[in-house]
């Protein structure tokens, strides 16, 4: 059944042709009585009229404007040649509706005018002999109502289709804009991550260069110091290599400098300062550390700091004036866990479900990019009891 319905929707002319055949058959049956009452001299005129009006129904959606003009010519021909109305004239109502729904504006206005004039002209041409003039006028008005209703219904369908088409176009445009904004946000965040991690790598390489120069200087005079310097180079090189692997695939678009010098990047030690700043700004924050704290790779520390920073920023933006937050930092054997919760209103659904709308929500996009860079996982969404919750697990290896 669904296949048949889809087939009929793809071939509307076939459907209209079917109804045209039905209308022609009914018109032939109804025209027999007219021929008996007025003679057979009308047969040569009635059959072409019925056939042409059936063609109007069959091709109404394929050529609405042309079928309207054909219907007008046939109607005028009926008036001039004194061909009485019959079931086939129902095609006039159908074409008025069709042109109002899908035809050009000029054709729609012409169909309304012709439809309103059709009934009065028919009453003038074939008045009821037993009715008074007032009754004929009243009957003309009554017969004009179906044409007016057909036009109103068709025009309403046109307006509704235009409205839905506009909604679909707007939705498609917003979807493209949202995708473009997300791509721009991802690219910008990747560039920022690359700049920040560059500082860590540059620091490690600088240490390696200094140690290498020192080892070469004391290689003969103090072999033990040279050996220790080489061990430092090896350890620092491994750290730099680990950070460089995380940078693979990230396009870097410039240097992150302020006043000509590289800016030191924050780590876990600066989280307490960040939380204190939030408290001073009026946001109550409860901070706890669980597990045995230890030194971590700078990339992991930077990621953890940025997640906490963005989470508390979102709490201030979306949590409301009376919101409070809690930050948990948990050291596992093979990972670092972060849990940031607040009891505020929570962020809008679009921010965490779609990744941002109208230029907003890019902080969460940045979080996911950062966590993905270190091979971790991130979960963000509303709390069951109200507020918002962000949890992250960052895999780590003890720094040498």
d(CA 354, CA 348): 10
Q: Residues 128-151: what's their mean pLDDT?
A: 84
Confidence of residue 326 (pLDDT cuts 50, 70, 90): very high
Residue with tokens 């004009």: 144
Q: Which residues pair with 327 in a beta bridge?
A: 287, 340
DSSP 253: -
* Higher-scoring residue by pLDDT: 337, 133: 337
Q: Tokens in use for 18?
A: 């079917």
Q: Tokens in use for 176?
A: 């493209």
pTM for the full predicted model? 0.48
- What is the tens place of the pLDDT at every residue in 216-274? 877 878 888 888 878 878 877 776 776 666 555 544 444 444 434 444 567 888 888 88
Q: What are phi and psi of 21, to 5 degrees?
A: -65, -45
| Average pLDDT along the chain | 79
- What is the tens place of the pLDDT at every residue in 80-130? 888 888 888 889 999 999 999 998 999 999 999 998 888 888 888 888 777
d(CA 395, CA 292): 15
- Which structural domains are found in the chain, ordered by start? 2-126 (no CATH), 172-258 (1.20.5), 266-395 (3.30.565.10)
Q: What are phi and psi of 320, to 5 degrees?
A: 100, 175
**How far apart, in Å, are the Cα atoms of 86 and each of 39, 51, 53?**
16, 12, 11
Torsion of CA 255, 259, 265, 266, to 10 degrees: -150
Q: What are phi and psi of 334, to 5 degrees?
A: -125, 15
d(CA 228, CA 210): 13
> What are the DSSP calls for 52-109, one per residue?
HHHHHHHTTTTSHHHHHHHHHHHHHHHHHHT----GGGHHHHHHHHHHHHHS-HHHHH
Check pLDDT > 60 for residue 38.
Answer: no
Instruction: Name the percent of the chain in helix, strand, coil, to the closest 5.
Output: 70, 10, 20
- Judged by average pLDDT, the poorest of 168-177, 185-194, 371-380 is 185-194
CA angle 304, 307, 311 (to 5 degrees): 145
């Amino acid at each position: 059944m669904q296949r048949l319905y889809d087939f009929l929707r793809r071939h509307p002319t076939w459907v209209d042709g079917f109804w045209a055949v039905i209308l022609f058959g009914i018109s032939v049956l109804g025209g027999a009585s007219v021929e008996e009452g007025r003679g057979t001299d009308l047969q040569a005129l009635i059959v072409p009229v019925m056939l042409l009006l059936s063609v109007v129904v069959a091709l109404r959606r394929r050529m609405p404007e042309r079928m309207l003009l054909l219907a007008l010519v046939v109607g005028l021909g009926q008036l001039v040649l004194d061909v009485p109305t019959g079931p086939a004239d129902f095609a006039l109502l159908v074409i008025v509706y069709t042109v109002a729904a899908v035809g050009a504006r000029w054709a729609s206005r012409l169909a309304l005018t012709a439809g309103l004039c059709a009934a009065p002209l028919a009453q003038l041409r074939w008045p009821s002999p037993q009715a008074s003039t007032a009754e004929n006028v009243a009957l003309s008005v009554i017969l004009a109502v179906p044409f007016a209703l057909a036009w109103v219904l068709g025009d309403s369908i046109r307006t509704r289709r235009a409205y839905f088409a506009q909604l679909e176009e707007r939705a498609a445009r917003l979807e493209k804009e949202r995708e473009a904004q997300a791509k721009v946000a991802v690219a910008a965040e990747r560039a920022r991550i690359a700049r920040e991690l560059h500082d860590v790598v540059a620091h490690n390489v600088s240490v390696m260069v200094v140690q290498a120069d020192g080892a070469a200087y004391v290689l003969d005079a103090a072999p033990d110091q040279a050996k220790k310097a080489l061990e430092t180079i090896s350890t620092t090189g491994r750290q730099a290599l680990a950070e460089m692997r995380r940078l693979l695939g990230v396009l870097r678009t410039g240097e992150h400098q302020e006043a000509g010098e590289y800016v030191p990047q924050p780590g876990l030690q600066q989280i307490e300062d960040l939380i204190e700043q939030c408290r001073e700004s009026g946001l109550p924050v409860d901070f706890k550390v669980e597990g045995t704290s230890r030194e971590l790779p700078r990339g992991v520390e930077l990621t953890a700091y940025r997640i906490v920073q963005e989470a508390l920023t979102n709490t201030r933006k979306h949590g409301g004036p009376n919101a409070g937050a809690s930050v948990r930092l948990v050291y596992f054997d093979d990972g670092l866990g972060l849990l940031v919760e607040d009891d505020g209103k929570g962020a809008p659904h679009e921010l965490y479900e779609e990744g941002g709308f109208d230029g907003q929500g890019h902080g969460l996009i940045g979080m996911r990019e950062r966590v993905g860079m270190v091979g971790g996982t991130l979960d963000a969404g509303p709390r069951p009891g109200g507020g918002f919750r962000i949890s992250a697990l960052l895999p780590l290896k003890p720094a040498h």
